[in-house]
Structure formats: structure tokens, C-alpha cells
Amino acid sequence: MTKNFDAIIIGTGQAGPSLAGRLTDAGMTVVIIERHHVGGTCVNTGCKPTKTLVASAYAAHLARRADDYGVTLGGGAVGIDMKKAKARKDAVVNASRSGNETWLGSMKGCTLLRGHARFESARSVSVNGEMLTAERIFINVGGRASTPDLPGIKDIDYLTNSSILELEMLPKHLVVVGGSYIGLEFAQMYRRFGAEVTVVEKGPRLIGREDEDVSAAIKEFLEAEGIQIRLNAECIRFAPHGEDIAVGVECTSGAPEVVGSHVLLAMGRRPNTDDLGLDKAGVAVDSRGYITVDDQLRTSVEGIWALGDCNGKGAFTHTAYNDFEIVAANLLDNDPRRVSDRISTYGLFVDPPLGRAGLTEAEAKKSGRRVLVGKRLMTNVGRAVEKGETYGFMKVLVDADTKELLGAAILGSGGDEVVHGILDVMYAKAPYTVIQRAMHIHPTVSELIPTVLGELKPLE
Ligand SMILES: Cc1cc2nc3c(=O)[nH]c(=O)nc-3n(C[C@H](O)[C@H](O)[C@H](O)COP(=O)(O)OP(=O)(O)OC[C@H]3O[C@@H](n4cnc5c(N)ncnc54)[C@H](O)[C@@H]3O)c2cc1C
């Protein structure tokens, strides 16, 4: 049997449900298809569960430091009840997931269909043997952990960002393979829960996409918490080792092998496009499987759009949501919003967190502009000192000729929030002097941004 709708949406991640809301508000009939949990990665195995567990880890960390603040806890070592921490995480995730389900259920003209969707043609999709047709199809299938075919990987059990969230026990020694955004959050979290943790990174530094000073500062505070970091691990391989797992690292220094009780693979993501039948619809993908889209997120086939992680234009919840806004604006509001209008921004939720906006120092240098830089260590930020959280620094980049703000890295207490003041002025396309002359609240981390902007120096 074939059912016709005005629109088909594949995936209930960060773009699909909001788009279903706008399309149904416009009077369209919509079917939205989900093969797993409503809410997608962010809600179920990404942002929400990790940030909930990061909060538990932070509580444990502060409790261990209680004495630094003159707080007494009544003796005894700080422990973690993993079952309870997981239950707290599950409650947050389940509330969000069911909130999304209720929301979708409340949309007039929206059908939520459970199952795996596959294109049969450019206008039809099959789900559980049922054929659905529509003039407009929106792909919001997201991505999953990539598991490279490393030597020995088939001989061991390993964890991914999804399966590690189901643990109710504390690994004795967690080996995190991949020293980037996802891996580092888990590494610090599990160290604070009380596990021994080693991070194995094949590159010469952590989070290689960031500036070297950012990588170095994060390495410093992770090591200060007792996390072992093995860089230049060029030949990562695995082998069972009794009850444990041996991870071959062949680093330039240190033992050639690390033996851990658990391995977390955090080596990047891949799009969920391999089992979608895109060839039947004629939708083009790039060499890594990301769906090719234009500045309005239209694919190579008219009437088909791709939103979120699967189009390779972003890898965040806010980029997926912004994709929804762009598609809805163009389709429904006669508002020509574009992907190229947005400014790169994201957080790394280690503690203290990194808030990033715009260009890195390396990118600014490469741009050929005359660049000014302002930098201040968190040890010179009153509020950070008062809170006893003085790791990190703030760095802001400015175009010497146009006075435009080019980018910022705020690594430190509240850095994930503080960076938005800079980001908003970047969107306003106002000169940096607007922030430099603004009066900020004392005592905050943000109050030092005008100071940093008053001390700009040429970037060497
Ligand atoms: C551990 C971790 C932490 C993260 N933390 C953050 C963070 O702090 N901040 C941030 O901005 N981002 C974070 N992210 C990234 C963020 O989760 C993703 O960028 C975001 O979820 C992408 O949303 P999406 O809409 O593209 O797809 P997804 O949220 O991945 O949703 C896609 C949905 O499509 C479904 N689907 C796939 N194929 C089919 C099919 N053929 N048929 C039917 N359904 C299908 C999937 O089941 C899924 O539910 C994190 C990711 C991870 C893994």
C-alpha cells in the first residue's frame, strides 16, 4: 500500500521535529520516521547524557577539593555510585525523549512512524514494507561513532559513546582511543568518577584542530587530575590480555603498550547514509558519505534536502537546528537564509570548558589579514581566582584594519557562556571597540573581555 504525504522527514534528530512543527503549522501533512529513539543522538547518546554525567563528575571533583574551600565532608573518601549517576542521567534523557514524543504527537497532521527508512526513488521511501510518497523529502539521519578497522579490533570488546552510557560499574582502567572533543569529555568524567584513565591519541597533540596553546592547556589540567596521555600513537592496535585489553600505542616515549580493563573508541563520526538507498533517489554524497548540499541545504535532487550532521556542514546540535531554521526560512518565510551566514562556534565540555567562536589563531594567520591578539590567563581573572578555578586563558583575535572580531577561544571557568558575548558582536558585524567600551558586571569572567580588547598586540 502507498501513502502520500506533503512531506517525508527521515530522522527525529535536532532538525526533523522542529521542521515537522513548521510544516504542519503551514497546513502540510508530514510523516516523520525514526528507527531508534526519538530525539536522535543529542538527546539519547550525545549532549544530554554526557553533560548530565559531566555534572556528576564535577560534583565528585568539587567534593574531593572540599578541603581547599574550607568545607568538611565528615570523613571518608569521595566515592561514586555509578548506578545512581546513571539513573540520574537516564531520568534527564527519558524526560527529554518523551517530551519530544509528546510534542510530535501534538502536531496536527504529523505521523510518527517507527522503522528504518530507505529511498525507493526520488519521491518515495519504504518503511517496514510500506511505501510512502511525497513531493518534499528531508533527510535528518545524523551519524554514529566511526569504528576504524584497526588491527585486533575484532578480537576485543570495546565501548562507543552509546554503549559507555549504559555502564553501571566503574571501569578499573579506561583507555580512551581518540584525544578529541568526545574522548576528552569521557576521559575527564571517568577519571573524576575514580577510574584510572589513559588517552591514546595518534596525533602529536590533543584536539589537533585547536590552537597549540589550547591543546597544551587542556593537556596540563587533564594530566594534573592524573589522566595519562599518550600522543603520537601512530600504530594503535588491540589484543586481549587475560581479562583486560592491551592497546598498542608505539608512542615516541613511554611503554609501547597500555593495558586497560575497558576501551572507549572515540575516533570520529560517520554519517548514517550507507543504508538509506540514496543511489535509488540519485542523491549525491562525497567521498566520506556526507550528502552534498548547497547553501540552502538542497541536495543534488530537487525536492530533497539534507539537514544536520549527515550533510557534513556541521557536527553539532546547534548546527543541525540552524539547518532547520535555514530550510524553514527559505521554504516557508521567503527569507533567504544561508549556511554561509553562520559563524563557527562550539564548546568542549571538559572542566574548565572551552568556548570557541570564529577563527582559530592558525586560521587567522592563514587568512593573510593583519591580526591583533589579546590574551589573559585565568590566574589573572578575579572571579576565576575566587572560585578556585584558574586553569586556562581567554584569547580574542581582531582584524587590525577593519576592527572586526575574528575569533575567540575562552578556555576557563564559564568559557562556554562567556564566548557568546563575542559571538553576538561578530554577528552584529560591529567593531571590537563596542565590547571594549561596554561596562560589564563585576566580578565575572566576562568583565575581563573589554580589558583583553584594550591590550591587543600584533599576532606574531
Ligand atoms: C558523545 C557526544 C556528545 C555530544 N555533545 C554535544 C554537545 O555538547 N553539543 C553539541 O552541539 N553537539 C554535541 N554532540 C553532537 C550532536 O549530538 C549532534 O551534532 C546532533 O545530535 C546532530 O543532530 P542530527 O539532527 O543531525 O542527527 P541525530 O541527532 O543523530 O538524529 C538522527 C536520527 O535519525 C535516525 N535515523 C538514521 N537513519 C535512519 C533511517 N534510515 N530511518 C529512520 N531513522 C533513521 C537516527 O536513529 C537518529 O535518531 C555530541 C555527540 C556525541 C556523540
> Per-residue confidence at 324, pLDDT binned at 50, 70, 90?
very high
Q: Express each pLDDT in 221-268 by its tens digit.
A: 999 999 999 999 988 999 999 999 999 987 666 678 999 999 999 999
Q: Is the pLDDT of residue 124 over 70?
A: yes
C-alpha torsion sign, points 75, 78, 80, 85: positive
Rounded-to-integer distance, Cα 188 and Cα 198, Å? 10
Give the contacts of 15 (CB within 8 A, at least 6 positions apart).
Answer: 138, 140, 307, 308, 320, 321, 323, 324, 327
Q: Express each pLDDT in 369-397 by its tens digit.
A: 999 999 999 999 999 999 999 999 999 99
Rounded-to-integer distance, Cα 246 and Cα 13, Å? 36
In the chain, domain spans: 2-143+270-341, 153-267, 345-458
The fold of the 2-143+270-341 domain, in CATH, is FAD/NAD(P)-binding domain (3.50.50)
Rounded-to-integer distance, Cα 460 and Cα 457, Å? 9
153-267 CATH pick, 3.60.15.10, 3.50.50.60, 3.40.50.300, 1.10.1370.30 = 3.50.50.60
367-405 burial code (b ≥16 CB/10 A, e <16): eebebbbbbbebeebebbeebebbbbbbbbbbbeeeebb
- End-to-end Cα, the chain, rounded Å: 67
Q: Is the pLDDT of residue 77 over 90?
A: no
Rounded-to-integer distance, Cα 256 and Cα 267, Å? 20
Please give the pLDDT value at position 256.
Answer: 85
Q: How far is CA 419 from CA 31, 42, 215, 457, in A?
A: 38, 22, 18, 20
Mutate to test the pocket of ligand 1, among 130, 141, 164 (most ligand atoms within 8 A of CB): 141
Q: Is the pLDDT of residue 429 over 80?
A: yes
**C-alpha cell at position 270:** 560517520
> Per-residue confidence at 336, pLDDT binned at 50, 70, 90?
very high
Rounded-to-integer distance, Cα 287 and Cα 270, Å? 11
Q: Which contiguous run of DSSP H or E holds residue 271?
A: strand 269-271
Give the contacts of 375 (CB within 8 A, at least 6 positions apart).
Answer: 393, 394, 395, 396, 452
Tell me which DSSP letter residue 391 carries. -
Mutate to test the pocket of ligand 1, among 47, 273, 346, 351 (most ligand atoms within 8 A of CB): 47
Strand partners, 117: 127
Mutate to test the pocket of ligand 1, among 42, 89, 273 (most ligand atoms within 8 A of CB): 42
Q: Which amino acid is at 48?
A: K
Q: Give yes or no on whether 2-143+270-341 and 153-267 have one common fold.
A: yes
Ligand 1 contacts CB of residue 320 (under 6 A): yes
**Ligand 1 atom nearest 118 alpha carbon:** 41
Q: Which contiguous run of DSSP H or E holds residue 17?
A: helix 16-25
Active-site choice (116, 262, 420, 442): 442
Please give the pLDDT value at position 253.
Answer: 63
> Per-residue confidence at 156, pLDDT binned at 50, 70, 90?
very high
Q: How far is CA 46 from CA 185, 247, 263, 439, in A?
A: 11, 25, 18, 37
Asked if 442 is an active-site residue, the reply is: yes
**Ligand 1 atom nearest 186 alpha carbon:** 1
Q: CB count, 10 Å around CB of 293? A: 23
Q: Is the pLDDT of residue 460 over 90?
A: no
Centre of ligand 1 from the C-alpha of residue 80, in Å: 28
Ligand 1 contacts CB of residue 141 (under 6 A): yes
Ligand 1 contacts CB of residue 197 (under 6 A): no
The long-range contacts involving 71-77, CB below 8 angstroms and separated by at least 24 positions, are none
Ligand 1 contacts CB of residue 53 (under 6 A): no
Ligand 1 contacts CB of residue 211 (under 6 A): no
Rounded-to-integer distance, Cα 309 and Cα 14, Å? 9
HSE at residue 6, side-chain half, CA atoms within 13 A, is: 13
> For atom 45 of ligand 1, which residue has the closest CA?
11
Q: Phi and psi of 328, rounded to 5°?
A: -65, -40
Strands (E), 26-75: 30-34
Is the CATH number 3.30.390.30 carried by domain 345-458? Answer: yes
